[in-house]
Copies of this chain bind each other. A is one copy, B any other.
Amino acid sequence: MKIVVDAMGSDCAPAVEVEGAIMAAEELGYDILLAGDDSVISAELKKHGYQSNKISIIHAPERIAMHDPAALSVRRKRQSSIVVGIELLKRGEADGFVSAGNTGAVVCATTLSLRLLPGIEKPGIAVVYPTLTGTAIIIDVGANINPKPMHLFQYGIMADAYSKYILHKPNPVIGLLNVGQEETKGTDFAKEAHALLSESKLNFIGNIEGRDIYAGAADIVLCDGFVGNVILKISESVIDTIVKLLKQEIKTSIVATLGAAMASNAFNELKKKMDYSEYGGAPLLGVDGRCIISHGSSNPKAIKNAIKVAGEFKNQEVNKHIVEELENY
């Protein structure tokens, strides 16, 4: 297995990517190609005293920053770590690609270079997240902020295959995010998506609401990329807010401070459960390749987990299953 990692993507690049790559090479036995500035990456590898032919560097002197305009940067910065990395994938020199960099640029570069799977009109970013009853997928969280109803149907097919073959759920339950349960609720877009999904062979349970997302009412939550993006960012911030407010409250009493210290293991376990680095980043579904997008603030473990998921994506032939499912509908 050979995975190319954008070494210049994360907020702490390339330190985080290099450490994650070393973990992946050692724990998973994968070959890792680090795309980015040769001298900077070499220096980072030296810090770890890492010498092995499991990790090699693909020199890419340019860098697309987090807030650079996506399409323009991809066209102009042909020597950036994102473009160089995806070109490796395109030429068949790697089995998967991982980036914690500019999400828009990754979506743009993969769509332009790798193209889409046959029958798929738009790619979607899927995020695996914890619920009260296990895990679920939400798609799309930002690749496509103005989708057509047909795109949501196709996201249903893609997430269905991903759930089956990566999350090992034989018959995932699919819900459409809306403002009410009744099929008459919502925008025209939501009503049309509801109709398409109802007619399909997918295990579609109809509309679900915001409160059902974390309750685990569905294994797959379908929504447009605007709403999904807001949900993703608000979820992270709500958790932060609660922890910070709780700390403010706890500081006001010695007994509470002691109590919080005693319960701290539980807090840490919870944080781990809510931390989506555990789930290995977000697959970009629909492109003809295997691309995992990690959080900009990823730690080395998150990068390692993303590399692992990229490998499973290949081993489980997810894209082949997506194309087959789509042909059968």
Contacts and interface: CB of A to CB of B under 8 A. Distances in A.
22 contacts: A67-B182, A131-B241, A132-B244, A145-B187, A179-B225, A209-B229, A210-B230, A210-B232, A210-B233, A214-B241, A238-B238, A249-B266, A249-B267, A250-B266, A255-B262, A256-B262, A256-B263, A256-B265, A259-B259, A259-B260, A259-B262, A260-B262
Nearest to A215: B237
B255 A270 contact: no
A164 interface: no
Given A184-B69, A187-B146, A234-B213, A246 B270 contact: yes
A contact residues, range: 35 or more
B210 A237 contact: yes
A43 to B, nearest CB: 33
B231 A249 contact: no
A199 interface: no
A108 B180 CA distance: 16
Nearest to A247: B266
A179 B145 contact: yes
Interface of A: 67, 69, 130-132, 142, 145-146, 177, 179-182, 184, 186-188, 190, 209-215, 223, 225-227, 229-242, 244-246, 249-250, 252-253, 255-256, 258-267, 269-270, 273-274
B230 A245 contact: no
Contact of A231 (B188, B210, B241, B266): B210
A244 B236 CA distance: 17
